Structure 1
């Protein structure tokens, strides 16, 4: 059973309601008040129990059992045939003298909603034995960028990387610092 979060009675509550009314002979009003539900709700569940037994206490689908204005199968076949000929929904609706919303609905139900893929071959799919086997990297050499593309210091001026002569004398030849270009 799939109940919504605000359901007043879960399956065990329905069983308790039936037990109070049928076995212990409580009135519907008293049992409904005890369980915090309406008399109408209590009447519904007790009535279902009396007609169907335990199965009557289970949830039911709220979907309609039939749709009165469903498009006939012959008309759907006609829509599909026109769709395969790449007619748009507006063209189909005009040709068959039907509502504009009916044609795309019928074709979308059958997976033909978008014209782009209809009548085209499926894309070639393939699997490889090892992950990354088909990884491909495109490398393009770029021409020299005019004016340079170096890093900028916060004030917008260019800086050159230079070895400090002071540090070389101290035995730290790897030390570098930024010096402003003039």
Structure 2
């Protein structure tokens, strides 16, 4: 049973309302009792008198005919020309169709962009099978705080941490095992980075 999402009454309720009117209730009284407008009550009464209870169901909003529906053969032609990497305007001119029609069909086919015809390039990961064969290094620059921020105090007027300096998060990740070693250091210079790498390699060797 299809009932419109905004309908105040189900077909059973409509039948009951119509039955009350047939028993002598006025349309106004029935409309008020069932919580609908007089116009709605009158509409269902007329439908019932024309076709019985089967007419008390919501009519489909879909058109009975669709004269603008694009024939399947035309859709196939559009798709074939697109796969020859023709643009939408060129397809429209070739087939004598409106550009909007061709664009609609291409979007429905998932071919709205010419790039959709390009083969999917597989993602190649250079993973190592044994721990220690390859590591990844990264450094993240982190701002310091000399006063508490507004996320803690809730007060944006409390001031900012001006010229507080920076910390540097050094990260080393083993490609095979995904084990990670990190340190927060005062710089990202050669001395600190080299020393960090030595400590990271020693730690990974122990694990």
For residue 54 of structure 1, report the CA deviation from its aligned partner: 3.2
Q: Which has the larger radius of gyration?
A: 1
Q: Is the 8 A contact 1:84 1:119 kept in 2?
A: no
Q: Is the 8 A contact 2:110 2:116 kept in 1?
A: no
Structure 1 residues 120, 29: closer, same or farther in 2, change over 3 A?
same
For residue 82 of structure 1, report the CA deviation from its aligned partner: 0.8
Q: Is the 8 A contact 1:89 1:100 kept in 2?
A: yes
Partner of 2:24 in structure 1?
A: 25
For residue 2 of structure 1, report the CA deviation from its aligned partner: 4.2
In structure 1, distance between residues paired with 2:76 and 2:25: 58
More strand by share: 2
Gapped regions of structure 2 (runs ≥ 5): 124-133, 147-162, 167-207
Q: Is the 8 A contact 2:8 2:35 kept in 1?
A: yes
Partner of 1:3 in structure 2?
A: 4
In structure 2, distance between residues paired with 1:97 and 1:113: 19
Structure 1 residues 150, 2: closer, same or farther in 2, change over 3 A?
closer
For residue 89 of structure 1, report the CA deviation from its aligned partner: 1.4
Matched residues, number: 139
Partner of 2:160 in structure 1?
A: none
| Structural mapping, 1:10-159, within 5 Å | 10-22=10-22, 24-118=23-117, 120=119, 139-141=135-137, 154=146, 156=164
Q: TM-score, normalised by structure 1?
A: 0.56
Higher relative contact order (CA 8 A, sep 6+): 2
Structure 1 residues 123, 60: closer, same or farther in 2, change over 3 A?
farther
In structure 2, distance between residues paired with 1:122 and 1:156: 46
Q: Give the match's secondary structure for 1:141.
A: strand
Gapped regions of structure 1 (runs ≥ 5): 125-137, 159-182
